[in-house]
Every structure is written in structure tokens, then in C-alpha cells.
């Protein structure tokens, strides 16, 4: 349990396993409601990164909302002198836009450790406060920085 008292639902762990081990989904978006982190949206394996961003950046009317996103990112890797291969890396993103309510940002920030501890095997944790930090190229650069050449 997080310092905020927010707990993870069992559905979050099941969805994580379906993404990490079973490769059943491309991504999942999580939201805090009723004092629990729960799955809000799940993307099919053929979903794009753009689909993920649409779900992650949902608004409550005119107000930007915080969310967490888990994405199984695949990209082409070409180490020096060898054939190119495809790599897959899981990343966990905390989306807390600067324009969202302060109380909401504090709740999501203090509860993020709960997800990080539960989702063992995530390659990279990314905190984004601006849409430019969620940009596909930006995220791919972060993931590629962990590759061995």
C-alpha cells in the first residue's frame, strides 16, 4: 500500500501478467477511483502508440486528469555489425499534467510506488508532466538508451 493509502486491485496484477507474460494486450491505462488503482482501458495487441496516448490523456470535461500507463513497446534494434532484430520493452508511465488539479497530482505522485513495486519486470519508469514527454520519439530514445550496443 502507498503512503496515500491507495491499494492496487487484483485486476491490475492480472492485466500486468497478461501484458508481460501472455502478450495478450499492447497496453493498459490505470486510474485511481474509490481509493484504489484500477484498470481503466486495455489496448489490443494491434493498437498503436497513438491509441495509448488518446486513452492516457483523457480529460474530465475541460480538466486534464492524471493516469498511469503500461505499454509493451516494440522497436527495431540494429547493434553494430549484426543483423537488426526486434526488441520489446515494458515501460510504466505516470502522466500528471501540470494543468491538472493539485490534489489529484499529489494523490497520483504518492501512489506511484505501489505500481512500481507490484509490476516487477518493467524496463523503464517514465514520469511525464507535459505531452512532449509522452512523445513516441522521446520515449523510444529513453528505451534505446538502455540497450547494449
Kindly report, residue by residue over 28-63, the tens digit of the pLDDT.
999 999 999 999 999 999 999 999 999 999 987 788
Burial class (CB in 10 A: 0-12, 13-18, 19+), 112: buried
State the pTM of this model: 0.92
Mean confidence (pLDDT) of the chain: 92
27-36, 125-134, 140-149: segment of lowest average pLDDT: 140-149
pLDDT of residue 2: 53
> Cα torsion for 21, 94, 115, 29, to the nearest 10°?
-50
CA distance 66 to 29: 11
pLDDT of residue 3: 62
Q: Which of 3, 76, 64, 8 is nearest to 36 (CA)?
A: 8
Kindly report, residue by residue over 61-86, the tens digit of the pLDDT.
788 899 999 999 999 888 777 788 88
Amino acid at each position: 500500500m502507498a503512503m496515500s493509502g491507495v491499494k492496487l486491485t487484483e485486476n491490475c496484477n492480472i492485466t500486468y501478467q497478461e501484458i508481460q507474460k501472455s502478450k495478450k494486450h499492447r497496453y493498459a491505462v490505470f486510474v485511481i477511483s474509490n481509493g484504489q488503482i484500477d484498470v481503466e482501458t486495455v489496448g489490443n495487441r494491434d493498437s498503436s502508440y497513438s491509441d495509448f496516448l488518446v486513452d492516457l490523456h483523457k480529460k474530465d470535461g475541460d480538466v486534464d486528469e492524471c493516469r498511469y500507463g503500461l505499454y509493451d513497446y516494440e522497436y527495431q534494434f540494429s547493434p553494430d555489425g549484426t543483423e537488426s532484430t526486434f526488441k520489446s520493452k515494458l515501460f510504466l508511465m505516470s502522466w500528471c499534467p501540470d494543468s491538472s488539479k493539485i490534489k489529484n497530482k499529489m494523490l497520483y505522485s504518492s501512489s506511484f510506488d505501489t505500481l512500481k513495486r507490484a509490476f516487477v519486470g518493467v524496463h523503464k519508469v517514465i514520469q511525464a508532466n507535459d505531452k512532449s514527454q509522452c512523445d513516441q520519439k522521446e520515449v523510444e530514445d529513453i528505451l534505446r538508451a538502455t540497450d547494449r550496443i
